[in-house]
Amino acid sequence: MEQQLSAEQIRKLAKRLDDAFESRNNEEIISYFSDNCAIELPGIKLSGKDGLGKAIAWMYRYLKEIVLVPITIMVDGNTFFEEFIVRAKVRGGEEIQVKQTEVLVYDDEYKVKSLRLYFDRLQLAAAYASNPLEKIMIKQLSKASLKGLL
């Protein structure tokens, strides 16, 4: 049975992790995770620090000058919930804002054993589109995904 961790300590560690992402300090980011951590992004699951490294490399391949702006933060037991906005530059220097949510579950040693990150893949894809045809296709998919709601 896991012990009850300090909510304040979890908040501090999560803030340091966000700061490490913003400063692109891979060693520090990895130090916050357990060796057998699980990473879940939309459509993919990765495991261990190798999987974490792949997720970090993927994010930095597309996002430059990252700023994370918290909206809502909650801690429940060993679980940290955060809704936030990612402000970043993508290739070509275009600035984007993407709303995301993360769930971090900590182990008894205050290491992240599970990270689940949720975001709108179409919104992110629109920022990565490099030619007019891609942009039109993504716009049409986004519009179609809302059919019946608007």
Digit-coded pLDDT (tens) for 42-68:
889 999 999 999 999 988 887 888 999
Which residues neighbour 136 within 8 Å (Cβ) at sequence distance 6 or greater?
Answer: none
Domain 7-119 has CATH 3.10.450.50: yes
Beta-ladder partners of 72: 83
Is 143 or 40 the better-scoring residue by pLDDT?
40
pLDDT of residue 3: 62
Q: For residues 108 and 5, is the Cβ–Cβ distance under 8 A?
A: yes
d(CA 128, CA 61): 11
Give the position of tokens 């994010």: 59
Q: Where in the chain is the domain with CATH 3.10.450.50?
A: 7-119
pTM: 0.83
Q: What is the pLDDT of residues 15-51, one digit of tens each?
A: 999 999 999 999 999 999 999 999 999 889 999 999 9
